[in-house]
């Protein structure tokens, strides 16, 4: 832990770091590949919608059933002619969901299930679920998502600038697409819990992005008054200075969600936890990735197209060439003590320790430090 803390301090002060911005094309390529895979999953497999969205019936059996889940699922599908989902509850009873059946079909399915499971027909409690409630949930979710995105873009444009708002918007769409695509590939059932999980990850996805943007905003004040760093280099410093914090917050958030998904849903068989935990787990991981590898590099790309940033980059490279360091990569992270003999180019926007140059001739020949 002490080593991690030391690494975090060194990253924050710019003593060490990884050049995320320079390798941005690699990250863009990875994201495009994952996004295409997610879209193909949605196109080919589609989403497995729960009965809340397409209607159906839910049947509950008595406690301590000896029939296995697989066998009960086979019985339900044979009786209804539709796909069925069976969950074994803690008291040993079975919860059988059958989608796409009406009242008349539900009565027949209930009677057939009672016969197959060797229980009384009155012991199989059936409940019809209409699709209208699920449709209302979905419509409200889409409305909430649209309003959320609009408000986020407006806020980020006012608090930071439109380029950061655009980058954050792209990162959000990236995270949502990947999460929904993985849902399609895995084949988990989409329930209202899934919708709640998707809406929840939007805030988490923005959290790390806004932290990096805030650091970048502080470090790029009066950026054109210095010739030490380009905008991309300062953007890279912002990512590195907040990297450990982003990793820590993401890991802390993923641990309990991972417990729900892998232990609660996988080991203990509480399938209902999968609905919300998978969307949270994938969304949190995708949000952490996009804030580091997508949002900030995209802002740097957009800013470097500005005439002022192009001119700054030329001045920085020209100065390095004059200083005998022309071989340094354009997007490389520059240490804080570089060019410490040029006091007029000190950039107040860039945080980190700097070696302060001693004044020439100060104290020369007299203890008091005054000139003769």
Tell the burial category of 342 from Cβ atoms under 10 Å away from its Cβ (0-12, 13-18, 19+): middle
| pLDDT, position 345 | 41
Query: Same structural domain for residues 161 and 174?
Result: yes
Rounded to two decimals, the pTM is 0.71
58, 95 contact by CB (below 8 A) = yes
Q: Are residues 44 and 101 in the same domain?
A: no
pLDDT of residue 338: 37
Residue 70 lies in a domain: yes
What mean pLDDT do residues 227-246 have?
Answer: 88
Query: Are 276 and 296 contained in the same domain?
Result: yes
CATH number at residue 109: 3.30.70.3400
Length of the chain (residues): 372
Q: Tokens in use for 201?
A: 């990850």
Q: Mean pLDDT in the chain?
A: 78
Instruction: Tell whether 29 and 62 lie within a shared domain.
Output: no
Q: What are phi and psi of 94, to 5 degrees?
A: -110, 140
Cβ 194 vs Cβ 51: under 8 Å? no
Residues 195 and 214 in one domain: yes
The CA-CA-CA angle for residues 160, 161, 164, to 5°, reads 90
Q: What is the mean predicted confidence (pLDDT) over 138-160?
A: 86
* Residue finishing a domain among 129, 153, 180: 129
Last residue of a domain, one of 129, 149, 166: 129
Beta pairing class for 189-190 and 48-49: parallel
For residue 239, is it within any domain? yes
**pLDDT score of 270:** 54
Three-class HEC string of 334-349: CCCCCCCCCHHHCCCC
Cβ within 8 Å of residue 169, ≥6 positions away: 149, 152, 153
The confidence band for 222, taking pLDDT boundaries of 50, 70 and 90, is: confident
CATH number (domain holding residue 242): 1.20.1640.10
Q: Quick check: 335 pLDDT over 60?
A: no
The predicted-structure confidence for 116-148, as pLDDT tens digits, reads as follows 888 888 888 888 777 676 677 778 878 888 888
Question: Of the candidates 129, 149, 177, which is a domain's last residue?
Answer: 129
DSSP string, 232-276: HHHHHHHHHHTHHHHHHHHHHHHHHHHIIIIIIIIIS--THHHHH
The residue assigned the tokens 């068989």 is 269
**Is the domain of 82 the same as that of 231?**
no
Does residue 158 sit in the same domain as residue 189? yes
For residue 263, what pLDDT band results from cuts at 50, 70 and 90? confident
- Domain total for the chain? 2
* Tokens encoding 121: 């027909």
125: three-class secondary structure by DSSP:
strand
Closest listed residue to residue 21, CA positions, set 335, 350, 333, 347: 333
Is there a single domain that holds both residue 199 and residue 277?
Answer: yes
Going along the chain, which residue ranges are E strands?
Answer: 48-49, 56-60, 84-88, 94-99, 125-129, 189-190
| pLDDT beyond 80 at 89 | no
* Residues 185 and 233 reside in one and the same domain: yes
> Is there a domain that residue 364 lies in?
no
Q: What is the pLDDT of residues 54-85, one digit of tens each?
A: 778 888 888 878 888 888 888 888 888 887 88
Domain coverage including residue 187:
2-49+133-303
Calpha distance 173→3 (Å, rounded): 36
- Tell me, yes or no, whether 67 and 209 share the same domain: no
């Amino acid at each position: 832990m002490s080593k991690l803390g030391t690494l975090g301090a060194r990253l924050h002060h710019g003593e060490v770091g990884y050049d995320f911005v320079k390798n941005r094309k690699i990250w863009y390529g990875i994201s495009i590949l994952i996004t295409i895979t997610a879209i193909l999953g949605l196109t080919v497999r589609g989403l497995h919608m729960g009965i809340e969205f397409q209607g159906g019936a839910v049947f509950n059996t008595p406690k301590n059933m000896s029939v296995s889940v697989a066998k009960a699922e086979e019985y339900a599908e044979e009786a209804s002619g539709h796909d069925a989902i069976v969950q074994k509850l803690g008291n040993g009873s079975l919860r059988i969901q059958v989608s796409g059946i009406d009242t008349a079909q539900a009565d027949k399915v209930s009677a057939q299930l009672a016969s197959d499971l060797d229980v009384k027909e009155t012991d199989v409690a059936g409940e019809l679920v209409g699709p209208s409630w699920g449709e209302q949930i979905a419509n409200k979710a889409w409305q909430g998502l649209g309003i959320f995105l609009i408000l986020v873009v407006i806020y980020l444009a006012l608090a930071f600038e439109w380029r950061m708002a655009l980058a954050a918007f792209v990162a959000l769409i990236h995270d949502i697409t990947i999460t929904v695509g993985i849902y399609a590939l895995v084949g988990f059932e989409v329930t209202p819990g899934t919708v709640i999980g998707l809406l929840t990850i939007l805030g988490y996805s923005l959290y790390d992005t806004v932290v990096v943007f805030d650091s970048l905003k502080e470090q790029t004040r009066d950026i054109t008054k210095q010739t030490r760093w380009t905008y991309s280099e300062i953007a890279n410093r912002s990512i590195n200075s907040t990297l450990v914090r982003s990793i820590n917050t993401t890991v802390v958030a993923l641990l309990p969600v991972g417990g729900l998904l892998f232990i609660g849903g996988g080991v203990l068989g509480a399938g209902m936890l999968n609905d919300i935990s998978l969307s949270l787990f994938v969304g949190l991981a995708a949000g952490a990735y996009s804030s580091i590898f997508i949002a900030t590099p995209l802002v740097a790309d957009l800013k470097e197209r500005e005439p002022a940033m192009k001119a700054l980059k030329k001045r920085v490279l020209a100065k390095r060439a004059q200083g005998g360091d022309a071989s340094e990569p354009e997007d490389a992270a520059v240490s804080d003590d570089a060019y410490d003999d040029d006091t007029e180019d000190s950039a107040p926007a860039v945080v980190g320790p700097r070696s302060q140059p001693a004044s020439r001739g100060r104290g020369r020949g007299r203890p008091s430090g005054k000139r003769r």
